[in-house]
Amino acid sequence: MLDIREGVSSFSILVKLHFLPNSKRDRWLNVLLDQSEVYFPQILESQVHWQRLQAGGLREGDGGPEWGLEHIRASEPIKSFFFSPRERVASFPEKLEPGETGRRILFGVKNCDLLPLKVHEQMFLQGDFKDTFYEARLRNTLFIAADCPEPADTCFCNLVGRRPFAEAEADIVLTVLEDGYLLEPLSDEGEESVRTGGDAIQPATEFQAAKRAEKRRAADSKLAKINPKPWADGLAQRIWDRSGEDGFWGKHAASCVECFGCLMTCPTCYCFLLYDKARAEGMDRSKVWDACYMAAYARVGGGANPRSEFLKRFVNRFQCKFTHFKNAHGFYACSGCGRCYRACMGKIDIRDVLGEV
């Protein structure tokens, strides 16, 4: 391991960097596969999707899966690993408790998929009542983040104050170099996991560390070109203050067809519904993803609905993510991943709304 002082002259931070040469990659992956289920970003028809890595399927190129470590985030948000779209969480009259969960490694998570974990931590784990199903899976997962050297034009993590690579929140952060991978452990479990690589993983050199810094700088400047203009200060308050301006919101919502794709694909959205299904005797209760754009979302018993008009639901989404969550927890419930824009049939770019409000 090499301790490297990284940064400009005014301040420097100590980083511990390791190097895994390409030729030894599979040795380490096999060790990981022995201990855990490993999931990796696979390129399928030019999109990235999470796939389970099979022990026999390590070979790249001919017949093997094409890895997308340097691509932007996968199409699916990683929340599905902990907070499934539909999961049985209770039953009656007999009682249900969370089952055992196996250990998992998510190999190649992007920084914009780490922020949602902080959002869900606030919603599911920090209150008086914990989502024990979520917690069991989260605590049994190792996160290996991967830098984004090529941000896409849908990416705007820089606008929410983040960078195209992880600096915390993961267990290990990985940078792809030509001849191998740089690994920086960010947690004790990360260190431990790197150690399991044995002599396949060596200390990194100054040159390799400099290479990483250079790649990261280039990625930062690409993002700065894609999104040159930061949001003006006071975004949270402006959204709240303008909530009644139907003209402004209506203009942006005009092409929405209410497919809810934006919310279903959003990594930070946490809404769910407890849905009971009758059995011959008793019931099963599922926790299913829900979306605040749905008309019945806020409807109360007897039929009254505070957000019966779509425009109110449209504004509510912005207030939830950018006003209330920010005021309560100090950061936006948006990671800048751009999935909502990608999913939108009406081509609504959330950046247009936020840049103009």
Ligand X SMILES: Cc1cc2nc3c(=O)[nH]c(=O)nc-3n(C[C@H](O)[C@H](O)[C@H](O)COP(=O)(O)OP(=O)(O)OC[C@H]3O[C@@H](n4cnc5c(N)ncnc54)[C@H](O)[C@@H]3O)c2cc1C
DSSP for 62-121, written as a single string: TTSPPB-TTSS--SS-GGGGTS-SEEEEEEESS---------EEEEEE-HHHHHHHHHHI
Regarding 268 and contact with ligand SF4 (CB under 6 A), the answer is yes
- The two tokens of residue 15 are 């980083």
Angle of helix 246-253 versus helix 310-318 axis, rounded to 10: 90
What is the closest distance, in whole angstroms, from the C-beta atom of residue 10 to ligand SF4 in the complex? 26
Binding site for ligand X (CB under 6 A): 273, 275, 296, 299-302
The site that binds other proteins (CB under 8 A) totals a number of residues, namely: 52
148 near ligand SF4 (CB under 6 A): yes
Site residues for other proteins, 240-259, by CB under 8 A, read 243-244
- CA dist 274 and 325 (Å) reads 22
Q: How far is Cα 322 from Cα 149, in angstroms, rounded to an integer?
A: 27
Please report whether residue 228 would count as binding other proteins according to CB under 8 A: no
Q: Which does 193 bind (CB under 5 to 8 A by kind): ligand SF4, ligand X, other proteins, none?
A: none
Residue 310, interface with other proteins (CB under 8 A)?
A: no
Beta strands in 127-271 (DSSP E): 141-146, 172-177, 180-185, 202-203
Q: In a 3-state reduction of DSSP, which class is residue 41?
A: strand
* Residue 253 Cβ vs ligand X, minimum distance, rounded to whole Å: 23
Contact 146, 110 (CB under 8 A): yes
Taking the least distance from each CB to other proteins, the nearer of 129 and 207 is 129
Q: How far is C-alpha 234 from the chain's CA centre?
A: 25
Told to check if 89 binds ligand SF4 by CB under 6 A, we report no
Q: Does 123 bind other proteins (CB under 8 A)?
A: yes
β-bridge partners, 247 = none
Tokens of 147: 């830098």
> Site for other proteins (CB under 8 A): which residue of 59, 103, 130, 225?
130
Binding interface with ligand SF4 (CB under 6 A):
72-73, 110-112, 148, 151, 155, 157, 164, 265-268, 334-340, 350
Residues in contact with other proteins by CB under 8 A are 89-93, 95-98, 123-124, 127-133, 135, 243-244, 270-274, 276-279, 282-283, 285, 287, 290, 292, 297-306, 316, 320, 323-324, 327-328
